[in-house]
Structure 1
Amino acid sequence: MSVIHRRKVGGRNLLFTHSSDGVIRAFYNSCPHRGALVCREGKGNAKVFRCFYHAWSFNNQGELVGLPDKEGFLEDHNCDGSKNMMAVKRLESYRGFIFVNFDDNAISLEDYLGNAKEYLDLVADQTEVGMEVLQDSQEYSVRANWKLLCENSFDLYHGVPTHKTYFDIVATRGGIMEKGSLVGEAHDLGNGHAVMEYYAPWPRPIGKWIEGYGEEAKEIIEKINARLVERFGEERAHRISKKNRNILIFPNLVINDIMAIAIRTFYPIEPGYIEVSAYALAPKNETENFKQVRNDSYLEFLGPGGFATPDDNEALELCQEGFANNKEVEWNDISKGMNRAIPQATDEAQMRAFWREWNVRIMDAEAKKIDAGRVKV
């Protein structure tokens, strides 16, 4: 029996399976017979995947195991395995985060993540038993260019003016904006990855209790903090539990470790329209009551109907409309913090890191086009 999840990654329909042998696999979700999706459900459990169109069946290793009217095919049909489901060649993981790569010649995941691994570790180290996604993903769309969402995802400068209502509500529950709130640093992590790490007035299920969480949650959080100190010492435990971080893994993976842990991926459908998938992440061993506290905290701010996401989407769509004036009006100033030796979390160094990598990729792509043209000539 396999646990299955269907995902779209980079425009490809993929089927992920986690089998009883402990192996995680990824297949292109296309029947090798006539191309139909083999699996239509978003998630579930199955021993065999049966194509709806002609009933070809495949086991959880992608092997063709069922073929109606087999006598109608040649005796050596599928002897070379060409009619099995095609597996994704590059499937790699880091601390439980699963990545696929469609480029056979790309560098390893470890090398690609580089300095970003330090911040993924801060997320993964919040539990000894592993993380899980809470319920289903949230799916929504934004009428804006996808790179605007990259910028927005680690833009602390807009936090207070754009999301003032949320900060006001948090204050009524004990999350008061103090002198050190929204103070921190921004870091270019290489390869286009970047992060901002900072303190904030909102609660954190991993380590910052406020009255709105209730007394039961207070005791749980105190135990979590004590265990973190036991495992990592005071300094690292404090960093894991008290600091917030918004991480961008270039080009379009966002991990927000703030009042809850959110994972977002997003893909451009056209230059001014993107589709977003968002997931809430949590330790596997949390009680149902505390898991509800965490999920409420996630949905209140990060959910598609929360206090932040609709505001952000509105801001991005306003930017997209405003960019229609770009022939006459200079736009997208991301110079904030260039006058500081150490960029602050409310600066824009993290955005510059993204755009520098984007510029390199564009220049490389243009150079390849030129080289290809020269070869043709």
Structure 2
Amino acid sequence: MSRNAMQWAQRPKFPPTHYVDSRVYTSEEIFREEQEKIFNKVWIIACHESEIPNAYDYRTFRHPGGQNLIIIRGDDNQVRAFYNICPHRGNVILYDPSGNAKRMTCIFHAWSFDCRGNCIDISRGKEGYQDRLSLQDVGLREVRCEVGYGGFVWVNVDDNACTLKEYIGDALSMLEPHMQEPLEVFHYHKAIVNTNYKLWHDTNSEFYHDFMHYFNRITGMLQPGYFDRKYVGYPNGHASVGSMEIKYDKYEGSKDRKVGWPGLAPGGWILIDIFPGMTYNLRTSVLRMDTAIPLGPNKVIIEFRGLGLKRDTPEMRAERIFDHNMIWGPFGRNLHEDLLGVHGQGIAMRDERTDSRWVLHGREENMTIHDEGGMRHYYAEWSRRMGRPAYDPFGDRGIAGKAAAA
């Protein structure tokens, strides 16, 4: 029987922790607050060190908090991050997404900076400033930057935030033994999707959505042990979903894999979500990294990187690329289905008639693979950082005081 408008607006009969108000995905107010209270306070992956292998190599990075950053390798081999803003008149310094710049010169008034952020030249500086301004006074504003956990370059725009090690804690302990060798990005793909960044991370946080993937249904869900994988939640909103061995030979079109991954069982699979929008996904012979960069409440850039071992021979690299593209490439079996799923959610969430809807996170299966405990863990951290409960973010549902009765 269909539901009328009054029934549709009623919350489901679950504890408040088991659903969220759909407005957390669509509200401009919520998004601006997320930028300030979440993205500007946590460690975020900007790129991988292999993308800037040589001195003076750089990448520009749009931080999810809205800032424009430069990630550059110095002449001392150290990777640093700076605001991509000239301290003179606030102009953008580097416009290209990547390149090599021994000298970074602002096009506005030709002020120049070196790879360590020092100002090295002010056009007609003596004539204009005499002795009133020193080069040391106008260097680039540095951002905290660390390289770690697989060679990824992490940034944090909060000078007072905890260290990267403190932020990650034990969340990557299952994966760290498999990331001891230098890695290299061999595939980069970017998708701009009309959806909320949390919907993408939701998809990475639960495997009930494997019903959407034909390939996963026949290579994973039918195998012994699939439903026994356990979610483990870590401080700061991170979570892992255990590990298992995927029997790819169950799929008629699959082929034997000659290239594995150091320390990982053949067909091994480990997935770890890092709050608020990053996912390590090690599967068989490839490490995939997803990073979400929101452009607003209803639009997100999702970056996909495929990584292999830096020491790969051409033959090994070709095998990894084949494995990656068969599952995760733009024309692979899974990626387009995931993007279609979150795009459809984005369409529905933006429909003004759905403002009274709730999104259920109510599956309970003893914290195994189809339990939505990972999502509940995520939104508990989201609520803590935001100072708003995800189930009643505006305090207008009249349910905050009824949690005990739910």
Q: 1:82 to 1:295 in 2, by over 3 A?
A: farther
Q: Answer yes or no: is the 8 Å Cα contact 2:325–2:331 preserved in 1.
A: yes
Cα deviation digits, residues 49-87 of structure 1 (max 9, x gap) = 122333222111111223333343212354262322211
**Aligned counterparts, 1:318-333, within 5 A:** 318-323=344-349, 324=351, 325-327=353-355, 329=357, 331-333=358-360
1:103 aligned residue: 158
Alignment counterpart, residue 231 of structure 2, candidates 186, 195, 198: 186
The residue aligned with 1:133 is 185
1:263 is the counterpart of 2:289 = yes
Q: Are 2:292 and 2:302, in contact at CA under 8 Å, matched by a contact in 1?
A: yes
Structure 2 residue 87 is matched with structure 1 residue 27: no
Which of residues 248, 251, 260 is equivalent to 2:273?
A: 248
TM (norm. structure 1) is: 0.77
Gaps of 5+ in 1: 205-209, 229-236, 367-377
Please tell me the residue identity of whatever aligns with 1:4: Y
Aligned equivalents of 2:247, 2:67: Cα separation in 1: 38
Counterpart residue type for residue 162 of structure 1: M
Q: 1:178 to 1:39 in 2, by over 3 A?
A: same
Cα offsets for 1:203-260 (capped at 9, x unmatched): 59xxxxx98556xx62x54xx66xx4xxxxxxxx54xx65312221111122222252
TM-score (norm 2): 0.72
The CA deviation at 1:356 is 0.7
User: Which residue, 62, 81, 91 being the options, matches 1:8?
Assistant: 62
Give the CA deviation at 1:357: 0.5
- Number of equivalent positions: 330
Distance 1:2 1:321, change over 3 A: closer
User: Are 1:358 and 2:382 matched, yes or no?
Assistant: yes
* Secondary structure of 2:360's aligned partner: coil
Write out aligned runs for 1:154-233 (5 A): 154-159=205-210, 161-164=211-214, 166-167=215-216, 177-181=222-226, 183-199=228-244, 201=246, 212=254, 218=258, 220-221=259-260, 228=263
Matched, 1:57 2:132: no
Q: Which of residues 366, 373, 378 in structure 2 aligns to 1:349? A: 373
Pairing 1:303–2:359 present:
no
Q: 2:197 aligns with which of 130, 146, 163?
A: 146
User: How far apart in 2 are the matches of 1:296 and 1:53?
Assistant: 46
Q: Distance in 1 between matches of 2:248 and 2:135?
A: 56
Is 1:118 the counterpart of 2:209? The answer is no
Distance 1:365 1:183 in 2: 30
User: Partner residue of 1:374?
Assistant: none
Does the 8 Å contact 1:183/1:345 carry over to 2?
yes
- Please name the residue that 1:234 is paired with: none
Q: Does the 8 Å contact 2:221/2:227 carry over to 1?
A: no
**Take 1:310 and 1:351, find their aligned partners in 2: how far apart are those partners?**
22
Deviation at 1:99, TM superposition (A): 1.7
Two-structure CA RMSD over aligned residues (Å): 3.0
Deviation at 1:286, TM superposition (A): 0.8
- The alignment partner of 2:202 has SS state of helix
Q: Distance in 2 between matches of 1:354 and 1:191?
A: 9
CA contact (8 A) 2:246 2:269 kept: no
Instruction: Report if aligned partners of 2:119, 2:135 keep a CA contact under 8 Å in 1.
Output: no
If asked which structure has higher relative contact order (CA below 8 Å, sep 6+), I would say 2
Q: Distance in 2 between matches of 1:319 and 1:29?
A: 34
Q: Which runs of 5+ in 2 are unaligned?
A: 1-54, 391-406
Contact persistence 1:59–1:65 (CA under 8 A): yes
